[in-house]
Structure 1
Amino acid sequence: MEPPIFEILACEPTELGILCLRRRELLCEPGTIVTEVTLDHEFLMSSYLTASEKALSEISLQMHSGSRLRVLVGGLGLGYTAWTAQESDQVSQCEVIEFLPQVLSWLEQGLVPLSDKLNADNRLKVTQGDIYQQLASPPEQKYDLILIDVDHSPDERLDKASGKFYTADGLQRAKLHLEADGILGVWSYAESSRFVDALHEVFREVRIEPVTVFNNLINVEQTDWLFFARD
């Protein structure tokens, strides 16, 4: 019997810790190959369960009735949020801001599952930068959708510097980057009452969507949380 596939595609030091990209065959589903990212040897994301990353785009697009939308995505990750936005006929342009240049390199080298599709779409612009710093600064342009998938949750962040974004003051600054009917969407693996309170303080409408899937790898149901807000 062939041993299961396990490859380390990249492993590099970053400002946030040791970042690794790996590809492996699932022992519980022989023949199923997944791509995973770890940070300091802790699991960060996977191509196996992507429902909530896709739903971040899907729900925000359902909420917005417009066309030729400009979308800003904070955090490239494995690309599922950006790709789902690009698949929509409503979207004319998608800009992704990714903090780690190593992740951008993975995309350029074709190491992530969606590389070919993302690199072939001329509506996509991917740049290295700090999404939180950009949203805290005066806007140079405005967007119809701003979708954030960077931290584990508003209360468990990869970098302490992002904390300001999750406050009423930070959200007020981020709101200036939205068009009048624009929507802010934020991904989280946990609920956060403090963040919800801040959203209500700044926005007229707040919507919270749990996304529950069965994780066959650990044999349990797991729920991610999506926060949406608009005026």
Structure 2
Amino acid sequence: MTKPYLKILAYEDTCLGPLCLRERELLSQPGTIVTEVTLNHEFLMSSFNTDSERVISNRSVEIHGDKNIDALVGGLGLGYTAAELLKHDNVASVEVIEFLPPVIDWMNQGLVPLSGNLANNGKLTIVEADVYAYLWSPPAKTFDLIVIDVDHSPSDQLDEQEHSFYTMAGLQRAKAHLKPGGVLAVWSYAQSSDFADALRNTFQSVSVEPVTTLNTLVGHEQTDWLFFGRDDEP
């Protein structure tokens, strides 16, 4: 019997633990090859199901509804969030802040599925930095959209040392980086009433939207949660 395909593309020790990029053949769908990322030997993301990453970008643009949108994305990952934003004609620029240097290297070295598309897009800038520290600092410039796709959820953060972004104080700091009428969007694999309350205490208009898809790998539906906050323009 032929063993299923598995290839380790990159393996790096980082300040958050061992980071691994791999390709593998799905046992449930022979012949289907996916790209996956693990952190600290735990599953982090996959190219197999990217519905919610793409939805958060599309809904952010839809909620904003204007032209010449400048977007900031927290977290590069496999690039699906940024790539979806770049598909919109009314998005003028996308700046991605990524904390882990190897993730940027993977994109530059062509190791992930979207490398070619993103590398050749003149509207995209990728910066190595901590997006939460960036948003806590006074703004050097402001954005129409800020899309955060970093942690598992507001209560399940990648770093053992919790940061304050998901609190009202952190959201107020992040809000200062938005232009009038700008949208803050946050991805999560779980609902969070505490975070939703913090958003409602910070923004005039808040929506919490589930994205449910059938996960054929395990044979049942899964739901991710998208949080959006916006102030009405003066």
Q: Tell me the TM-score range normalised by the shorter chain.
A: over 0.9
Match of 1:127 in 2: 127
Aligned-partner Cα distance in 2 for 1:161–1:101: 20
Question: For the Cα contact (< 8 Å) 1:154–1:163, is it kept in 2?
Answer: no
Q: RMSD value over aligned CA atoms? A: 0.9
Within a 5 Å distance, the mapping from 1:109-124 to structure 2 comes to 109-124=109-124
Deviation at 1:69, TM superposition (A): 0.5
Deviation at 1:163, TM superposition (A): 2.6
1:166 alignment partner, SS class: coil
Match of 1:178 in 2: 178
Match of 1:208 in 2: 208
Within a 5 Å distance, the mapping from 1:102-113 to structure 2 comes to 102-113=102-113
Match of 2:158 in 1: 158
| Residue identity matched to 1:105 | D
Q: In proportion to residue count, which structure has more helix?
A: 1
1:202 alignment partner, SS class: coil
Q: Deviations over 1:92-126 (max 9, x none)?
A: 10000000001001001100100000001010000
Deviation at 1:25, TM superposition (A): 1.0
Question: For the Cα contact (< 8 Å) 1:211–1:225, is it kept in 2?
Answer: yes
1:49 alignment partner, SS class: coil
- Alignment gaps of 5+ in structure 1: none
Within a 5 Å distance, the mapping from 1:1-231 to structure 2 comes to 2-231=2-231
| Residue identity matched to 2:30 | P
Question: For the Cα contact (< 8 Å) 1:99–1:130, is it kept in 2?
Answer: yes
Aligned-partner Cα distance in 2 for 1:85–1:49: 17
1:164 alignment partner, SS class: coil
Aligned-partner Cα distance in 2 for 1:11–1:124: 26
Deviation at 1:132, TM superposition (A): 0.2
Aligned-partner Cα distance in 1 for 2:178–2:28: 44
User: Identity rate of aligned residues, in percent?
Assistant: 57
Aligned-partner Cα distance in 2 for 1:162–1:83: 28
Q: Deviations over 1:44-84 (max 9, x none)?
A: 00000000000110101111111110000000000000000
Q: Deviations over 1:111-147 (max 9, x none)?
A: 0100000001010000100000000000000000000
Question: For the Cα contact (< 8 Å) 1:207–1:227, is it kept in 2?
Answer: yes
Q: Deviations over 1:13-63 (max 9, x none)?
A: 001000000001111111211000001111000000000000110101111
Aligned-partner Cα distance in 2 for 1:150–1:225: 13
TM-score, normalisation: structure 2: 0.97
Aligned-partner Cα distance in 1 for 2:168–2:130: 19
Aligned-partner Cα distance in 1 for 2:150–2:144: 19
Aligned-partner Cα distance in 2 for 1:173–1:4: 48
User: Moved runs in structure 1, 4+ residues, more than 3 A?
Assistant: none
